[in-house]
Chains A and B, each alone.
Chain A
Amino acid sequence: MNLLIKNGRVIDPSQGIDDTLDVLVENGLVKEVGKGLKAPAGAETIDAAGKYVVPGLVDMHVHLRDPGLEYKEDIVSGTRAAAAGGFTSVACMPNTKPVIDNKAVASYIIAKARAEGVANVFPIGSITYGSHGERLAEMGELKESGCVAVSDDGKPVVNSELMRRALEYARGMGILVISHAEDLSLVGEGVMNEGFTSTELGLKGIPSAGEDIATARDVMLAEYTKSPLHVAHVSTRGAVRIIREAKARGVQVTCETAPHYFSLTDEAVRGYNTNAKMNPPLREADDVAAIKQGLKDGTIDAIATDHAPHHIDEKDVEFNVALNGIVGLETSLPLSLKLVEEKVLTLSQLVEKMAGNPAKILGIDRGTLKAGAVADITVIDPAAEWKVDAEMLASKSKNSPWLGEKMKGGAAYTILGGKVVFKR
């Protein structure tokens, strides 16, 4: 099955390309990127005039809820949501039932994704057994079975000594530790960001200092142990500053943020909107500005969705009772494209943060259109206008704060290994 994508604006930061070019795909691999390429006999042709042709997007932080919580999402629906959002690769967090803390669960996910999924699925194992925060998980075997990182995402590793040992041990096994940075004692029973909005709504606040402190601890442990660290879902100005300073000192730290942290503030919670409830919580305007600055100056390496599907019964309840998290795979691209419109990022920088960098951080051979690379390609229509409609979302869950809102830009074609898996 061969494919020629013609006349698109090809953006591939890994080769310094940003030009109107053709991309030729043969046998599932990128054969050539160049001008005036001819379609071989029998090849399908996509006219990408007016569109962007970029390496397949990589979301390094999603929750696929499979195994165990398939009523929220499963590998099939989750990868369909990924494809619809322009993502060809996702890394899924281990807070499934059972937790991805052993080879069997990791292997199940990889096998099911290969058989039934429409995106590459790279599992992330847990740092600690059962994510209980008590003893290290079998990181060596997790890596061997295909896990690309370890994380207890959803909760922090509370014990500092254990986190230190996790960083050291993971370094030895050649696997990356992803930190969920949260000081639980400061979070307490908080349900939204602490600030004027929480004061007015009478909701218990979560101080930003809780994220800052936990980020600082993990950065310091990474520095002390000379181990790589990736910080998940950065949402505060303090965390951005801590990571920026650490990078300047040469600490091996990378980080991601999510579209909601540069698109919304805690004002979105007004009306006690449970689709604006997530962890970390939506912060304030100064934090949003700092997140954008961090993206711009390179402190923040990647945009990841933290796609967190929840059933309507878990969201259509009183605010305190509602579970944390929102779906994000299908809205990430248009929200991130706004950063280009606002001149926070160049298009090329955006592609780096949504494809090249996450692939690099996780050490996966994706995020490039170099000759010989797997032909995971996203064709983006920057002008596509569409409305976020619960019926239309491919995800099983509909917990989006953007329901009913208009979006601009989205995937026109999502191509996985040379095969079109999504077409708008």
Chain B
Amino acid sequence: MGFKHKDIIALRDLTKEDIELLISTAESMREINSRDIKKVPTLRGKTIINLFYEASTRTRTSFEIAAKRLSADTVNISPSTSSATKGETLADTALNLLAMKPDIIVMRHAVSGSHYFLSQKVPCSIINAGDGAHEHPSQGLLDMLTIKDKFGRLDGLKVAIVGDITHSRVARSDIQGLTKMGSHVFLAGPPTMVPPGAERLGNVTVCPTMREAIQDADVVIMLRIQQERQGKTLMPNAREYSRYFGLNPENLKLAKPDAMVMHPGPINRGVEMSSYVVDGPQSHILKQVENGVAVRMAMLYHVCGGELAE
């Protein structure tokens, strides 16, 4: 069965088979990335617009490299250089971009659900590079690929996600993807950062403490804490947060001995994770980044119909 979706907006919209297909395609894309000449003509002649309404270095770069390795032409548009500051609506911006006949628009936007809105306005494919606190499907997929690399499977694992679940699109995509694949997700964070009904998002358990979440975990995913966002009413300060919800070599011992540690980046060293863990043997953070390119190549490839030009 092929990939039937024109857009990839949320892992919630995909089936287990869709996710398996994307991950297995990403695995084969990785081979290209290890070649001396890292380029195939698969998407030659296709135009991809990276429309980033929020600042992003790693995701935008990763999508751009993914597109270029598949020989697509890419254009980057970000708010500071676009008409967004002049008050143009998203719909108008999209229609103007559409006049340039792109095949795919990769968008990051601060408003949850804005990709569904965009999708109603334009016929080209839409890939979500992050929308508000909703989803970040490429991150969810690359997290799963990284986990599969280590354990060879995505079912039956205990995965802990620790931090600000409420405001995290990464957490939502990880939860959607991992629970669909048959793993059990354990969430922990101060109750100010755990949204109502989180336990109903899938096979999810909300833990009262971080200790319970990471106990015997196979995977520990730490989320970024931002003093600017969470510092006002959600926690007293980074110091106290770090004490109760930070990952360090001591509490990491609670997880399984071969547990892997991940983080979507950028990391606040010493806040959600100690440097000893970030740079330690159990950290898979840089592998996540590496897998990001392969996963995004797979996403671009499949929304374009999954036909090889070769």
Contacts and interface: CB of A to CB of B under 8 A. Distances in A.
Interface of A: 194-196, 198-205, 271-272, 313, 316-321
A201 B134 contact: yes
Contacts of B195: 198-199, 205
Give the 3 A-B CB pairs with smallest separation, nearest first.
A196-B197, A202-B134, A272-B113
Given A195-B197, A196-B197, A319-B117, A202 B109 contact: no
Contact of B116 (A272, A313, A317, A321): A272
B263 interface: no
A318 B198 contact: no
B82 interface: no
B33 interface: no
B134 A271 contact: no
A318 B114 contact: yes
A200 B135 CA distance: 9
A311 to B, nearest CB: 13
Contact of B198 (A199, A205, A271, A321): A199
Interface of B: 12, 89-91, 109-114, 116-117, 131-135, 166, 169, 172, 195-198, 200-201
Contacts of A199: 166, 195-198, 201
Given A203-B112, A319-B112, A196 B91 contact: no
B201 A317 contact: no
Contact of B201 (A198, A200, A321): A200
A317 B172 CA distance: 23
Given A271-B116, A318-B117, A205 B196 contact: yes
A275 B240 CA distance: 42
A321 B113 CA distance: 11
B101 to A, nearest CB: 23
A202 B133 CA distance: 5
B122 to A, nearest CB: 14
Given A318-B114, A319-B117, A202 B90 contact: no
Contacts of B114: 272, 318-319
25 contacts: A194-B196, A195-B196, A199-B166, A199-B195, A199-B196, A200-B172, A200-B197, A201-B113, A202-B112, A202-B131, A203-B132, A271-B116, A272-B113, A272-B116, A316-B91, A317-B89, A318-B109, A318-B114, A318-B117, A319-B111, A319-B113, A319-B114, A319-B117, A320-B110, A320-B111
B253 to A, nearest CB: 32
A200 B10 CA distance: 11
A200 B12 contact: yes
B112 A317 contact: no
Contacts of B134: 201-203
A256 B117 CA distance: 34
B171 to A, nearest CB: 10
B129 to A, nearest CB: 14
Interface centre among B113, B114, B195 (most CB of A within 10 A): B113
Contacts of A196: 196-197, 200
Contacts of B133: 202-204
Contacts of A205: 195-196
Contacts, number: 66
Contacts of A317: 89-91, 117
Contacts of A203: 112-113, 132-134
A321 B200 contact: no
A194 B192 CA distance: 13
B197 to A, nearest CB: 3
Contact of B113 (A194, A195, A318): A318
A53 B201 CA distance: 50
A272 B196 contact: no
A6 B52 CA distance: 66
Contacts of A318: 90, 109, 111, 113-114, 117
B112 A201 contact: yes
A271 B166 CA distance: 19
Contacts of A200: 12, 172, 197, 201
A409 B172 CA distance: 43
A272 B197 contact: no
A205 B114 CA distance: 17
Contacts of A194: 196
Contacts of A272: 112-114, 116-117
Contacts of A320: 110-112, 132
A204 B229 CA distance: 13
A200 B91 CA distance: 24
Contacts of B116: 271-272
Contacts of B12: 200
Contacts of B166: 199
A386 B135 CA distance: 39
Contacts of A313: 89
B90 to A, nearest CB: 6
A321 B135 CA distance: 19
Contacts of B198: 199
Contacts of A319: 111-114, 117
Nearest to B90: A318
A71 B196 CA distance: 39
Contacts of B135: 202
Contacts of B112: 201-203, 272, 319-320
Given A271-B116, A272-B116, A321 B111 contact: yes
Nearest to B120: A316
Nearest to A188: B233
Given A202-B133, A319-B117, 8 more contacts: A199-B201, A200-B197, A201-B112, A202-B131, A203-B134, A272-B112, A272-B116, A317-B117
Among A195, A200, A202, A271, which residue has the most Cβ atoms of chain B within 10 A? A202
B89 to A, nearest CB: 6
A183 to B, nearest CB: 14
